[in-house]
Amino acid sequence: MTAPPAAARIPAERTHHGDTVIDEYAWLADKENPETIAFLDAENAYTEAVTAGQAPLRDAIFGEIRARTQETDLSVPTRKGGWWYYSRTVEGQQYALHCRRAVRPDDSGPPGTGDADGPGGGALDGGPLDGEEILLDENELAGDGQFFSLGAFSVSPDGHLLAYSTDFAGSERFTLRVKDLVSGETAPDEIPGTFYGGAWSAGASALFYVTVDGAWRPYRVWRHLIGTPAADDVVVFEEPDERFWVGVGLTRSERFLLISASSKLTSEVWLLDAADPGGEFTVVAPRRQGVEYEVEHQVTADGTDRLLILHNDHAENFELAQVGLTQVGLAEAALGRAPLADPAAWTPVVPQRGDTRLLGVNAFAGHLVVYLRTDGVTGLRVLRADGSEHEIAFPEPVYRVSPGANPEYGARAYRLGYGSLVTPDSVYDCDTVTGELTLLRRRPVLPLPGGAGYDPADYEQHRLWATAPDGTRVPISLVCRAGMPRDGRAPFVLYGYGSYEASIDPGFSIPRLSLLDRGFGYAIAHVRGGGELGRQWYDNGKMLHKINMFTDFVACARYLAREGWTSPQRLVARGGSAGGLLMGAALNLAPDAFGAVVAQVPFVDALTSILDPSLPLTVTEWEEWGDPLHDPGVYRYMKSYSPYENIATGRAYPPVLAVTSLNDTRVLYTEPAKWIARLQAEAPGGPFLLKTEMAAGHAGRSGRYDAWHEEALVLAWITATAAAA
């Protein structure tokens, strides 16, 4: 079967730094052009025709995902003030319900997590708690629409008002509303064009929110006075530097409103007493290029009022004397504290260490909890008021642990999340005095019809190390069925990302079981450009070191084949967004290393996008990729690896499946559309398939059943393609 015929083509010509390029598929960038939509529709029809034989397998995998999932389910309730807050899902409904139940004198812990007949009034079947109040039903809001997403969900400190925002297209542009939780009525005012999040003043008289500019950059913070028209809202902060994103929030103490302005390398924080919403925000420390910091506020049990500053210095030969720390070179993060009246008078709490990356800090009246990463594994460290400390540790070789919801400032217990490649997502409370861990909930994995149910002992996980061409050791996290033979015959999926200092931590996945139980292995390549091994791991995979990301991934693929875990023809590479760039570049670099590639919302036309400052995110991305518009060296470097420009026409390519969304504002649908069109026209091998969701955004389809169908399509394609190798 051949690809559908291309629509009429109007090439575009561009010249930068003396280099003229003819882009024969530039016409696909016009979303309003009927020819573009016709092309996408034709590609969807072609993909459906090529994969029609996989329909029974798709249905089977979807059925497995659904059967293993407890569809009517309840999150672990979180206490804030006089309420337990939680969300729940109902079998047959696409979206969640957000609820609360009043705290009762006989509540010994979160309701629904203990004995169903006990004092918590448990609801172990996932049904509603006795006395439940539904704050927001996403299913009612979504209606019959094809897409729905919630951008803000924030209850006021007094528990009386709810600010929430909705997106019905996938464009991540939200309409903000305020609901009275006492009367149940929603205010007539609607605020369109808002970004994620929002923050309440102390008395809930004012709501602060963020809007975006024409390039989808959050840049303005507004103050809305409750009960007044939205037209009267006031801008309280505007960021003119196009490298910076703006956000607004509250300290955990709820004492201060925070405005953060951050680029990829630099940040600045402004504070305002939350009890004085009409006042002026004041800067904690003026921005300095290459210096990042975050601010938290703590009022200790003895009444001491202070700021906590998580500081990161990326600037070479820069000394920050005011924190009492001298840091020269590219340093990891350090944690300091300062008097509220004198933020410049910092003293160290946790000094920087080369083997540890501090990711965040939660402040409580009696302790601090530091979120960190050491040797590629996340961790939590409790620092008590008496100066003692301990790490919250787990025995598995690879896992991920992260802060949970902890809104109660005076709480002794610390809520955290935990999971691994074989352990389902779990919620614990840690007693910060004794260190004791209490398991509140482990995500159920239900048995398939006629099956014995999920047993972690049926699977094994490993931490492996590949060696890149420059000698760098690259970690791999791997899971497979126990005792899987290493004779090269097993099909495998190798996942990668490698950008923005983001780490792909090893976690559990119900859909992945459908691969593992069909004999697949699954591995994560922790390539440079991510944050798994600290700041230098990130720095050595960005800007003019970006190619390390691609060679690391190829080295991991070669390692798995050489060690007998799989063979190149049975190895399927998978990545999304910036990980989609990784897929395209690694494929161009070594098409013989892979049997197939899945690229989801892939950033494969990187040079074209980063050259255009009018596109969403471009200017903010220059500190990640470099600025090819003004720097000829960066232009040449990006052109040397950008997947769209570097298809190897003389070498056979394996099958490729690209999945994208028409309304994606982060990676425009244009990129995979152009890439697949060029692969179909120029590259031997394939087939090269494009699947475009016509009513979705960057994260794909929004309803959980729709998302499972989309994942089943991808997993069925992976399974069938590997089997045909």
> Tokens at residue 702, please?
């929004």
CA-to-CA distance for 367 and 623, rounded, in angstroms?
A: 36
CA-to-CA distance for 462 and 524, rounded, in angstroms?
A: 11
> Tokens at residue 381, please?
């460290």
Residue 173 bridge partners (DSSP): none
pLDDT of the residue at 5: 47
CA-to-CA distance for 75 and 355, rounded, in angstroms?
A: 35
Looking at the predicted structure, is the pLDDT value of residue 539 above 80? Answer: yes
Looking at the predicted structure, is the pLDDT value of residue 323 above 60? Answer: no
pLDDT of the residue at 8: 54
Q: What is the pLDDT confidence band of residue 9, given thresholds at 50, 70 and 90?
A: low
695 vs 164: which has the higher pLDDT: 164
CA-to-CA distance for 75 and 371, rounded, in angstroms?
A: 22
**The architecture CATH gives domain 39-67+455-724:** 3-Layer(aba) Sandwich (3.40)
Looking at the predicted structure, is the pLDDT value of residue 339 above 70? Answer: yes
Mean pLDDT throughout 471-489?
97
Domain extents for the chain? Answer: 39-67+455-724, 73-137, 366-443
pLDDT 10s digits, 403-418:
999 999 999 999 999 9
Of residues 257, 196, 267, the one with CA closest to residue 223 = 257
Looking at the predicted structure, is the pLDDT value of residue 213 above 80? Answer: yes
Tell me whether strands 459-467 and 389-392 are parallel, antiparallel or unpaired.
Answer: unpaired
pLDDT of the residue at 425: 97
104: exposed, middle or buried (C-beta count within 10 Å: 0-12, 13-18, 19+)? middle
Mean pLDDT throughout 426-442?
95
Q: At what angle do helices 704-724 and 55-68 cross, to 10 degrees?
A: 130
pLDDT 10s digits, 154-205:
999 999 999 999 999 999 999 999 999 999 999 988 999 999 999 999 999 9
Cβ 363 vs Cβ 371: under 8 Å: no
pLDDT of the residue at 51: 98
Of residues 109, 86, 221, the one with CA closest to residue 155 = 86
pLDDT of the residue at 205: 96
Looking at the predicted structure, is the pLDDT value of residue 329 above 50? Answer: no
CA-to-CA distance for 218 and 249, rounded, in angstroms?
A: 14
pLDDT of the residue at 89: 97
Cα radius of gyration (the chain): 26
* pTM score over 0.75: yes
Percent of the chain with pLDDT over 90: 81
pLDDT of the residue at 518: 97
- Sign of the torsion formed by the C-alpha atoms of 710, 695, 584 and 400: negative
pLDDT of the residue at 119: 32
pLDDT of the residue at 345: 81
Looking at the predicted structure, is the pLDDT value of residue 310 above 90? Answer: no
CA separation, residue 364 to residues 29, 252, 270, 301, 385 (Å): 50, 8, 21, 9, 10
Cβ 417 vs Cβ 402: under 8 Å: yes
Looking at the predicted structure, is the pLDDT value of residue 315 above 80? Answer: no
> Tokens at residue 440, please?
């509140």
pLDDT of the residue at 170: 94
Q: What share of the chain is helix, strand, coil (3-state, %, to 5)?
A: 20, 35, 45
- The residues near 587 (Cβ < 8 Å, ≥ 6 apart) are 573, 594, 597, 643, 653, 654, 656
636 vs 453: which has the higher pLDDT: 636
- Mean pLDDT across the chain: 92
Distance from the first to the final alpha carbon of the chain = 18
Buried b (16+ CB within 10 A) or exposed e, 292-316: bbbbbbbbeeeeeebbbbbbbbbbe
Mean pLDDT throughout 101-130?
71
Enumerate the active-site residues.
577, 664, 698
pLDDT of the residue at 436: 94
Q: DSSP for 400-450? A: EEEE-----TT-SEEEEEEE-SSSPPEEEEEETTT--EEEEEE---PPPTT
CA-to-CA distance for 673 and 407, rounded, in angstroms?
A: 44
pLDDT of the residue at 406: 94
Q: What is the pLDDT confidence band of residue 10, given thresholds at 50, 70 and 90?
A: confident
**Maximum distance among all Cα pairs of the chain, rounded to whole angstroms:** 76
Count of CB atoms situated within 10 Å of the CB of 555? 23
pLDDT of the residue at 312: 79
pLDDT 10s digits, 360-385:
999 999 999 999 998 889 999 999 98
pLDDT of the residue at 452: 82
Looking at the predicted structure, is the pLDDT value of residue 621 above 50? Answer: yes
Cβ 100 vs Cβ 129: under 8 Å: no
**Residue whose entry in the numeric block shows the structure tokens 């028409």:** 662
Percent of the chain with pLDDT over 70: 94
